[in-house]
Amino acid sequence: MKRGILYALAAAALFGASTPFAKLLLGQMPATLLAGLLYLGSGAGLGLCWLLRGRQKSAGNPLVRADLPWLAGAIAFGGIAGPLLLLAGLRTTPASSASLLLNLEGVLTAVIAWRVFHENYDRRIIIGMLLIVTAGGLLAAEQGLAFGGMQGALLIAGACACWAIDNNFTRNIAAGDALQIAAVKGLVAAAVNLTLATMLGAAWPPMPAFATAAVLGFIGYGLSLVLFVLALRHIGTARTGAYFSAAPFVGAAISLFLLHEAPSPLFWLASMLMGGGIMLHLRENHGHSHEHVSQKHAHPHRHDAHHHHLHGPDWDGSEPHSHVHVHQPLRHSHAHFPDIHHRHSHDET
């Protein structure tokens, strides 16, 4: 479980740091073109890493045909609609407040995970999410007062909704090769966004701006997504979204220094509320007697309490490794998250 938390926090740090830098690049190119270049850097960079890495036993299994509908939906919402809405919202929203508004992604991710995919939750998680929602509402109200409308805040909220759907769709293929999943998402999203930018007559930026956007996309979008997929595998969708709520604090801290923006009292109040909500998520401890039904799947694993199976003579003893394996029915009790082995129902929440 600790590994999944670290993956989620690392993904949050990389993505959060990209927000103020993306705002700087918006002055040099249209939003559609920037979105395409960010995902081009993500997809091309990760694709190269995937080719250089080759097939490894610990990497996870390649995508199969049953994964394609989930992947297509994730790309449509998270790789195309989400970035366009975010970059459009950044045009009229200070980067520090926009970074904190991105916490809504974690809230919406959790709501979909709870209500649609039936992940478990408790009072501590609900209270934490309410604190984050309240903080986001304060920031949205501040934008309405400052600009005579809430268009920028609503656009960023729409981006968060798209990414929440993306996160829950990606949850269903998270047992696969995270590098391959992120590379495919990046390349397809780049192709669509760059085609749209060209049709709208966007002029390509100078090479320094082009290279900066590509590198920013590789780090802030590509590597962050790989870590996010790994976190989904270990701690489930709602928890990953909750820990990912740390991302805006990274972006806010950078933007205050980089863009010389003056934080308002509402900004600090929202920061405290969001920080309190995240702390409640971190203090969750969910454990009870539960039953594992028979399950057949493939993912990177070690021979722990959930993996007691035999291997053929070709196994060299290396761990972690990935192959198709069968879980026998098992009942036991321990602290756990709704990872790929603990998506069981609960009598009460």
Which pTM was predicted? 0.74
The tokens for 167 are 């996160």
Mean pLDDT computed over 327-340: 62
The tokens for 273 are 């509320």
Q: b/e string for 73-99 if b means 16 or more Cβ within 10 A?
A: bbbbbbbbbbbbbbbbbbebbbbbbbb
pLDDT tens digits along 162-179: 989 999 999 888 877 888
Element (H, E) at 253: helix 247-258
Q: Which residue is associated with the tokens 């930018």?
A: 197
Per-residue pLDDT at 231 exceeds 70: yes
Outline where DSSP puts E strands in 128-232. Answer: none
Sorted by where each begins, the domain ranges of the chain are: 2-288
What is the C-alpha separation between 281 and 20, in angstroms, rounded? 26
Mean pLDDT computed over 145-158: 73
What is the C-alpha separation between 208 and 221, in angstroms, rounded? 19
pLDDT of residue 349: 40
DSSP class of residue 289? Answer: E
Q: b/e string for 144-165 if b means 16 or more Cβ within 10 A?
A: eeeeeebbbbbbbbbbbbbbbb
Query: Which of 156-165, 237-246, 318-327 holds the top average pLDDT?
Result: 156-165
